[in-house]
């Protein structure tokens, strides 16, 4: 459930709590009047997806201090043993539901890649997530699935980044992918972020399992922008000690630069390079005046 969807709610409660679901890294706020709810409790809530089981990951907060000033959906109740058992049973039956859906997809010859299947807590709906390159006409698929499961069916198309988040795996760093480990939302990642780090622009090496540029390129982008301030571009031609050189490489972490021409090569620190360039600029300015 998005914040925009939450703002449309017309329910007022005394307290606000944060609830996290097993299929999401993000926490959502709900209202409650139950003063016995504590951190770590399991609760039943109604979301846009349907009835779900979630974990309380905050203490009770007075709704008057809720900064967004919006009214939220309420916590329906503390989870009972039956709710928890139903949740575990739904998780156990999800692979079977996915297999049946896959059989229908193959039978109908649809070009879609099924990712996951989830039941709502009350089993009133099954949500199937899939990836597809083109628009899919799944009207017949919906009919067949409704006949099999005898409940509402939701087919949710997701992107390649969402797929990687659900499937998970190891990144090139050897750790679990950031999207499946801790990322709540996807930021925009551009090739300029790789340029700022002076990385070789090899899209295969810069791409994650989703085929998009790796999210981690954004993490230190601001730091690299600061480190590059006042420095010329890579491969720029400069004059140093009366000779013409080309900047063949720069290492921002080691703070070194390598200058070369046909006859000579020079290694400088980035501070030395900046000072020399500034000195030349000042000299040029004086000559112009």
| DSSP assignments along 42-68, one per residue | EEEEEETTEEEEEEE-S--EEGGG-TT
pLDDT surpassing 90 at residue 187: no
Is the Cβ–Cβ distance between 70 and 7 less than 8 Å?
A: yes
Residues 202 and 180 in one domain: yes
- The whole-number pLDDT of residue 199 equals 85
Q: Which of 19-23, 70-74, 109-113, 204-208 has the highest mean pLDDT?
A: 109-113
| DSSP assignments along 210-229, one per residue | TSSBPGGGTTTHHHHHHHHT
Is this model's pTM higher than 0.75 or not? no
Summarised one tens digit per residue, pLDDT across range 6-16 is: 444 444 788 89
Summarised one tens digit per residue, pLDDT across range 84-127 is: 999 999 999 999 999 999 999 999 999 999 999 999 999 999 99
Is the Cβ–Cβ distance between 281 and 232 less than 8 Å?
A: no
Domain that holds residue 182: 170-224
- The whole-number pLDDT of residue 282 equals 55
Residues 211 and 248 in one domain: no
- Cα 186 to Cα 271: distance, rounded to the nearest angstrom: 36
Last residue of a domain, one of 79, 97, 112: 79
Is 16 part of any domain?
Answer: yes
Summarised one tens digit per residue, pLDDT across range 157-179 is: 888 888 888 777 888 888 888 88
Taking CA atoms, 248 is separated from 226, 234, 261, 268, 273, in Å, by 21, 6, 9, 12, 13
Residues 49 and 19 in one domain: yes
Total structural domains within the chain: 4
- Cα 58 to Cα 27: distance, rounded to the nearest angstrom: 10
Residues 90 and 153 in one domain: yes
């Amino acid at each position: 459930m998005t914040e925009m969807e939450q703002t449309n709610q017309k329910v007022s409660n005394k307290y606000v709590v944060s609830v996290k679901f097993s299929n999401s890294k993000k926490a959502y706020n709900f209202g409650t009047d139950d003063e016995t709810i504590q951190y770590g409790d399991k609760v039943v809530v109604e979301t846009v997806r349907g009835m779900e089981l979630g974990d309380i990951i905050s203490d009770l907060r007075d709704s008057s201090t809720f900064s967004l000033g919006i009214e939220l959906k309420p916590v329906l109740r503390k989870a009972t043993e039956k709710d928890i058992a139903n949740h575990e049973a739904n998780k156990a039956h999800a692979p079977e539901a996915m297999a049946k859906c896959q059989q229908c997809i193959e039978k109908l010859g649809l070009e879609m890649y099924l990712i996951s299947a989830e039941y709502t807590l009350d089993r009133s709906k099954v949500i199937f997530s899939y990836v597809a390159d083109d628009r899919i006409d799944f009207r017949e698929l919906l009919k067949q699935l409704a006949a099999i499961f005898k409940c509402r069916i939701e087919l949710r198309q997701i992107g390649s980044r969402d797929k990687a988040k659900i499937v998970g795996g190891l990144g090139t760093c050897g750790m679990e992918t950031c999207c499946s480990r801790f990322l709540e939302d996807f930021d925009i990642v551009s090739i300029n972020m790789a340029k700022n780090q002076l990385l070789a622009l090899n899209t295969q090496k810069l791409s994650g399992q989703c085929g998009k540029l790796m999210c981690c390129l954004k993490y230190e982008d601001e730091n690299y922008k600061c480190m590059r301030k006042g420095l010329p571009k890579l491969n720029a031609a400069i004059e140093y000690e009366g000779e013409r050189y080309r900047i063949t490489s720069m290492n921002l972490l080691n703070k070194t630069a390598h200058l070369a021409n046909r006859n000579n090569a020079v290694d400088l620190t980035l501070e030395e390079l900046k000072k020399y360039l500034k000195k030349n600029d000042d000299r040029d300015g004086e000559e112009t005046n």
